């Protein structure tokens, strides 16, 4: 299979959810040096010279294209960043992609791509990264929207996700990698998952397929634990308007996590998105765009 044009599928994104299509939107890929010989890549949405209003941070084992339909629906200048070790961003030599280390790299990217952004949106690992960003680089975060994660997310809550990303590193064919993706994402359409795999995997010289994200995580060395609980301190540090969006069909955030979040951030808003699993941006992208737009416009 030939290497695809990463922007050639955007019309399919729009058509699938009924968004109007007036031709290719202004979007380009750029990268910034974050030190140590590594670069972080991002998709810059908006005409040249526009100032991105929103920063989007994807989840673990995803990439910036997970936000494509949301970006089309929002129709605002924004930047979707590939987290370190994901998409077109470079891998770390130590293969440690903690929310804190991610946040330090993301802060460099935001300064380069979107220094005046009014809102940061983070999903799953991107959400934990966004909490750390608000703690470690508060000048980068003016509003914070978190998609289906809290520091209360543990191994049991995240088990279906862990099972998927801990699977094979290499697949004999595109159909094989797509079939596994469909198996683990029952709330998504096959067409959206096909687009997702094209963005998130690549064909090897021998015709097999592999993911674009770094598979050399601690879980590959037998550490299957997920413990974000120390990052409740990062939640305490948030000094800006905070929105938590939960997928109604997701087990990643429990009621007890919402209670703890509200105890630490009493003014935080919490919205449950019906019909959505963990990846709300994939299951209900237009609804998510509407909710983000309303949050951005709110006082």
> 226: pLDDT confidence band, cut at 50, 70 and 90?
confident
pLDDT of residue 299: 75
Top mean-pLDDT range of 1-10, 54-63, 184-193 = 54-63
- Read off the tokens for 116: 């005046």
**Catalytic-labelled residue, pool 68, 148, 257, 283:** 148
Q: 225-234, 235-244, 249-258: which range is least confident on average?
A: 225-234
* Gyration radius (Cα) of the chain, Å: 18
Beta bridge partners of 31: 41
Is residue 12 within 8 Å of 195, Cβ to Cβ? yes
The CA distance from 221 to 94, in Å, is 13
pLDDT of residue 223: 44
| Cβ burial, residue 266 (10 Å; 0-12/13-18/19+) | exposed
Residue-wise pLDDT for 90-130, tens only, equals: 999 999 999 999 999 999 999 999 999 999 999 999 999 99
Would you tell me how many other CB atoms lie within 10 Å of the CB of residue 156? 10
Third-level CATH fold of 26-163+233-297: Rossmann fold (3.40.50)
Q: Kindly state the helix (H) or strand (E) to which residue 32 belongs, with its residue range.
A: strand 27-35
pLDDT of residue 216: 84
| Cβ burial, residue 230 (10 Å; 0-12/13-18/19+) | exposed
Residues 12-29 as b or e (16 or more Cβ within 10 Å = b): ebbeebebeeeeebebee
Instruction: Flag whether the pTM goes above 0.85.
Output: yes
Q: What's the chain's average pLDDT?
A: 94
Is residue 293 within 8 Å of 74, Cβ to Cβ? yes
- Read off the tokens for 103: 């946040």
Q: What is the DSSP string of 58-97?
A: --TT--GGGGHHHHHHH-S-EEEEPPTTSTTSPPPTT---
**Catalytic-labelled residue, pool 58, 278, 279, 283:** 278
Give, in order, the Cα–Cα distances in Å from 261 to each of 151, 252, 269.
9, 14, 10
pLDDT of residue 83 exceeding 70: yes
124 an active-site residue?
A: yes
Give, in order, the Cα–Cα distances in Å from 215 to each of 169, 194, 248, 258, 269.
7, 21, 29, 31, 35
Residue reference for tokens 């795999």: 197
pLDDT of residue 221 exceeding 70: no
278 an active-site residue?
A: yes
User: Domain spans of the chain?
Assistant: 26-163+233-297
Between strands 38-45 and 78-81, the pairing is antiparallel
Give, in order, the Cα–Cα distances in Å from 238 to each of 18, 81, 106, 183, 259.
36, 21, 17, 37, 16
Residue-wise pLDDT for 132-175, tens only, equals: 999 999 999 999 999 999 999 998 999 888 889 888 999 999 99
Is residue 157 within 8 Å of 264, Cβ to Cβ? no
The CA distance from 235 to 263, in Å, is 10
Average pLDDT (18-33) is 97
Residue reference for tokens 């949301």: 70
> 32: pLDDT confidence band, cut at 50, 70 and 90?
very high
Q: What is the DSSP letter of 267?
A: T
Is residue 249 within 8 Å of 188, Cβ to Cβ? no
- Read off the tokens for 296: 């951005």
pLDDT of residue 2: 52
Is residue 86 within 8 Å of 62, Cβ to Cβ? yes
**Catalytic-labelled residue, pool 41, 124, 192, 279:** 124
């Amino acid at each position: 299979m030939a290497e695809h044009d990463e922007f050639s599928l955007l019309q399919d994104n729009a058509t699938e959810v009924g968004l109007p299509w007036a031709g290719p939107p202004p979007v380009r890929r750029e990268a910034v040096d974050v030190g140590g010989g590594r670069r972080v890549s991002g998709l810059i949405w908006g005409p040249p010279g526009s100032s991105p209003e929103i920063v989007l941070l994807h989840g673990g084992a995803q990439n910036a294209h997970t936000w494509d339909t949301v970006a089309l629906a929002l129709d605002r200048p924004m930047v979707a960043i590939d987290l370190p070790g994901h998409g077109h961003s470079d891998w770390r030599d130590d293969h440690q992609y903690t929310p804190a280390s991610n946040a330090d790299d993301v802060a460099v990217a935001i300064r380069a791509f979107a220094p005046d952004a009014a809102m940061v949106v983070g999903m799953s690992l991107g959400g934990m990264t966004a909490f750390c960003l608000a703690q470690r680089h508060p000048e980068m975060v003016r509003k914070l929207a978190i998609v289906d994660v809290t520091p209360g997310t543990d191994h049991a809550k995240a088990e279906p996700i862990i099972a998927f990303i801990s699977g094979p590193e290499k697949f004999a064919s595109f159909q094989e990698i797509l079939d596994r993706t469909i198996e683990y994402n029952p709330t998504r359409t096959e067409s959206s998952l096909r687009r997702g795999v094209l963005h998130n995997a690549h064909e090897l010289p021998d015709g097999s397929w592999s993911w674009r994200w770094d598979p050399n995580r601690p879980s590959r060395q037998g550490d299957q634990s997920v413990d974000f609980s120390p990052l409740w301190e990062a939640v305490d540090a948030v000094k800006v308007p905070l929105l938590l969006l939960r997928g109604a069909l997701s087990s990643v955030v429990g009621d007890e996590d919402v209670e703890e979040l509200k105890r630490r951030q009493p003014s935080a808003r919490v919205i449950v998105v019906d019909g959505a699993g963990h990846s709300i941006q994939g299951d209900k992208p237009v609804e998510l765009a509407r909710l983000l737009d309303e949050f951005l416009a709110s006082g």
